[in-house]
Each structure stands twice: as structure tokens, then as C-alpha cells.
Amino acid sequence: MSLQSKSYALLSVFHKDGLTDLAQALVNRGFGLLSTGGTRQHLEEAGFTVEAVEDLTSYPSILGGRVKTLHPKVFGGILARRKEAEDQAQVAEFEIPNIAVVVVDLYPFSETVKGGGTHTEIIEKIDIGGISLIRAAAKNYQDCWIIPSRKLYQPAIAILEKGAPSEEDRKIFAGEAFQISAHYDIAINQYLTGRSSALSLGGENTLRYGENPHQKGSFYGNLQDVFEQLHGKELSYNNLLDADAAVNLIQEFEETTVAVLKHNNACGLASRENLTKAWNDALAGDPVSAFGGVLISNREIDLATAREMHKIFFEIIIAPSYAQEALEVLKQKKNRIILILKDFDPPKMQYRTLLNGILAQERDFKTDEADRLEVKTKRTPNAQELEDLIFASKICKHTKSNTIILAKNKQLLAGGTGQTSRVDALKQAITKAKAFSFDLKDAVMASDAFFPFPDCVEIAHEEAIGAVIQPGGSIKDQLSIDYCNNQNMAMVFTGTRHFKH
């Protein structure tokens, strides 16, 4: 090896696609290629001259491939400071090559976990040499260029076609490298501990803007794991907030269900045997607010339903699949966002930035169920009321607090959302239900928290609402129970509060 006469690019990757184009761009710029095992074989088969890391280190790949590049001559070539006289003297003394570029990607750890690999297979996908090479090259970005992902090959090739990477180019790539390193280590931590206790983010996706046009916005994560976008403009910051709310809500329902959301809250929702009927009854909940909203279904969108949906303007539709004829109808609006919701596991933790830190909490995975309800009144809810109480409770869980939900025959009649008073939330819901000509007789009422006074059940009784579901837990619960008993209303406690701030 002529160690001092040229600069080397060290290539050691798991995924080989796109590598030869990058290798050619490096060779065109005068870099010698230095590589290991399968990567070296791949490059040589493509016609490149490649020097072996084993020849540099005088060690073969050992321990079943666990040790290949972990050697002072490799890491010295990466970490040596070119402007430090002492470093350069040692480079000459120990015959260390000048490794100016490092191209590495990591063993697919997360993919192996998701694919159901055995514990042994997963452990073997914890990359040691690769992560070390990435960190070393990124640390010494002033003298070494790290290309840590095949997603960066094309940007790197574009730089090489114009000349050599600037220090600013190398710094940007180093930042990407440490992002990849952090994400990788957090995934391993989560697997070994079984806890989603650390914030794990995917790559940055720049959005058109944030909540408002004057605010910059980005999404960190892998949307392709959640959605396949079939049509329409790019998702915005607010689109993503609404889509998240819609997905969380629809996952509560097993029956054929359609929901319409606006500003993260359901303004219409119905469960029916027929999808078109579910859509029509969901829309009836608030046809005014549905304008410009988000539609979501837990069933394939058929042609008949698509035709009905197409009659109004909406921004986004989300469903597990679409009939081809339905897509042809829905795609008639060029900016309409059409998403397929994939089968994915939502993260166990939720995070929110505030003040000078981050709040973290476990996601609310608990859903109220009929067999866990505690009947607190003399009258037990009948079968229809019980079904509606659970239906209303599911919507209540995903509506901004303070909230009251009114429902009947598995249809959302109205909701009072985000009010500072629970009485105000109820009054808002009643006013809204009446505005769309709903009959509240024998409807049910759900509350996301307990009633400190009997005022809400009194108002509900005046509207002929027959049954109530609430968490319970107030020191004055008995006042509301007594009122319901006196008026022959049914009340059940869930024992679980579902605040959503």
C-alpha cells in the first residue's frame, strides 16, 4: 500500500444500492478506494480497484465479522488532524493512510426488530464498527467527510461533480451522522429495556410552514411507516396534527365507522353497517364544520361513498384502502390529499415541548369497556344506551377538554370542546345539536371528567337525555347520583379520566 501518496475513501456498507455511482464519483476525484468484505467484493465485481482493509491492518475479519475495521491504522487515518504537526508525525511513523472520506451505513437493527427476528439475530444487528466509523469521521469533519446513509449519496455525488466538499458541507453531513447515531442508539435502548423512555426521531422533513405561514415547520420521523400518499399536495403542519387526531380516534372503533375532524376534534362520527350510511350520518353531525375537514374511515372507500364524499370540499381523506373507481372520483380535486393508513404501532410515549424543557407521558391506550363500567344509579342503562355510552366515551377521550359528548344510535350529535367550564361545554353541545335538528330525547351524555356538582345532569335531564357516563371521583358524586335516581336517569362510572389538553 502506498499510504502517503493519496487520499482514500473507506467504504463499508450493509445496503449496496447506489454505491457504485458514489464510488465512481469518488474515483473521478482521485480518491483511492479502501473497503471490507462484501462491500469490497461488490465494488470489485463492478470493475473498481479496491484495496483491502485487511491488508492495511494485517488482520482478517474476525469473530464472525464482529471485528473488521476496529484498528488504530483505520481510526488513525480518520481522526488524524491534518494541521497538527504531532499528529502528522505519528501518521508517518506508524504508516497510517489518509482516509479523507468514510462511506458507512448501519446494520438494520430496527428493521430486524420489526421483522420479528430472534433475540440472537437482533443482537447481531447492533453495529459496532460502523457506528464507530461514523462518529470518528463526524468528529473530525474539518478533515474527513462522513457519508452515513445511502439517502445522502446523491447530494454527495452532486458535491463531487462540482469539486471537493467544503468544510461547511462536511459539517452538515456530520450533523446528519450524529442524528443517525442518536436514533440508532435509542432504538437499541428501547429494545433492551422494553421502555420507550427516550425521544427517538427519524429524519427531518421540512414542511411548507408551521402552524401559521410566518412560522417555519418540520416533521421528524418516518411518515412512510404510517401513510402511503396516493394523491394531493404535501402534508402541512396543521394537516399532520389533524391526521394524528383522526388516526388515534378511528383506532377506537371496530364497526364500520367514518369520522370528520376539524381542528383535531370530531365534528361528525357514525358507526353503521353500510359505509355510505356511516358517511352520511357522520356528515349530518355538522355539515358546516365538515367544510375543509379531514375524513377518516376504517373500511375501504367504495365508489358509492366516494361519490357522496366528493360533493363537499375536504382537505384530507384517510382509509385502509380505496376501490379503483372511488380513487378516480376522489382524485378529481388535484390538491385533495388521499392517504392509505398502514398497520402501524403508535409509539408508547408522547412528548411536548414547553418552557425550557420537554414533557413526556405514556400514551392513553385505555378504552372504556361495557363490562368494566360501574352502574351507580337504581336504573341500569338498557342495551342501546349502553352501546351509545361506550360510543360516546370513545369520542370524548379524543376531544379537547373540557368536553361533553352527546350521542344517540351510535351517531355523534354534538360535542362541547375545549371549554373552561363543563357546564359551558354541555350548553355548547346542546345548542349545536339543536342547530342541526337533532332530537336529544333518549340520547346519552359523556364527560371526560367528573361532575363536581349536579348542574350538568340537571341540564341533561331538561333535554330528556337518558343516560350518563363519567369517570367519577368527586367528593360530591352522590349529589349527581341522587339527582339521576330522582329523575329515573341512568349513570355509570368508568373510573378513568380522559383529559386531553
Task: Walk along the chain (501 residues) and give the pLDDT tens digit of each residue.
Answer: 444 558 999 999 988 889 999 999 999 999 999 988 889 999 999 999 988 888 787 777 777 766 766 788 888 888 989 888 888 888 888 788 889 999 998 877 777 777 788 888 888 888 788 898 999 999 999 999 999 999 999 999 999 999 899 999 999 999 999 888 888 888 888 778 776 544 555 567 889 899 999 999 999 888 988 999 999 999 999 999 999 999 999 999 999 999 999 999 999 999 999 999 999 999 999 999 999 999 999 999 999 999 999 999 999 999 999 999 999 999 999 999 999 999 988 888 888 888 988 898 999 999 999 999 999 999 999 999 999 999 999 999 999 999 999 999 999 999 999 999 999 999 999 999 999 999 999 999 999 999 999 999 999 999 999 999 999 999 999 999 999 999 999 999 999 999 999
Strand order in the sheet with 374-375: 227-231, 337-341, 314-319, 293-297, 257-262, 265-271, 411-416, 404-408, 444-447, 467-470, 490-493, 374-375
pLDDT of 203 reads 62
Say whether 231 is catalytic. Answer: no
Q: Which three-class secondary structure state does DSSP give residue 285?
A: coil
Is 310 catalytic? The answer is no
Classify each residue of 371-386 as buried b or exposed e, where b means 16 or more C-beta atoms within 10 Å of its C-beta: eebeebbebebeeebb
- Longest C-alpha distance within the chain, in Å? 96
DSSP 381-448: P-HHHHHHHHHHHHHHHTSPSS-EEEEETTEEEEEE-S-SSHHHHHHHHHHHHHHTT---TT-EEEES
Q: How many other C-beta atoms lie within 10 A of the C-beta of residue 448?
A: 24
Question: Please, what is the Cα angle at 146 between 141 and 150, to 5 degrees?
Answer: 155
Entry pTM: 0.71
Residue 378 one-letter amino acid: K
Tell me what pLDDT residue 89 has. Answer: 86
d(CA 56, CA 60): 10
Question: Exposed (0-12), middle (13-18) or buried (19+): which is 481, by Cβ within 10 Å?
Answer: buried
Contacts of residue 398, defined as CB under 8 A and 6 or more positions apart, other chains included, come to 245, 248, 249, 252, 265, 266, 500
How would you classify the pairing of strands 257-262 and 265-271?
A: antiparallel
| Whole-number pLDDT of residue 188 | 83
**Among 486, 408, 482, 416, CA closest to 442:** 408
Residue 43 phi/psi, 5-degree rounding, is: -70, -40
Q: What is the pLDDT of residue 64?
A: 73
Catalytic choice (71, 139, 231, 331):
139
- Looking only at the bridges linking them, the beta strands covering 98-104 and 265-271 are unpaired
How far apart (Å, rounded) are the C-alpha atoms in residues 102 and 31?
A: 11
The pLDDT of residue 493: 98
What pLDDT is stored for residue 129 in this prediction?
82
Domains of the chain and CATH, by start: 7-193 (3.40.50.1380), 224-341 (3.40.140.20), 370-493 (3.40.140.20)
pLDDT for res 2: 45
433 close to 455: Cβ distance less than 8 angstroms: no
Distance of alpha carbon 137 from alpha carbon 145, whole angstroms: 6
The DSSP output letter for 67 is B
Q: Which amino acid is at 91?
A: V
Whether the Cβ atoms of residue 463 and residue 489 lie closer than 8 Å to each other: no
Q: Residues 16, 71, 231, 263: which is the catalytic one?
A: 263
DSSP 163: S
Enumerate residues 6+ apart whose C-beta is below 8 A from 402: 416, 418, 419, 420, 421, 422, 424, 425, 448, 449
Per-residue model confidence (pLDDT) at position 198: 45
End-to-end CA separation in angstroms for the chain = 64
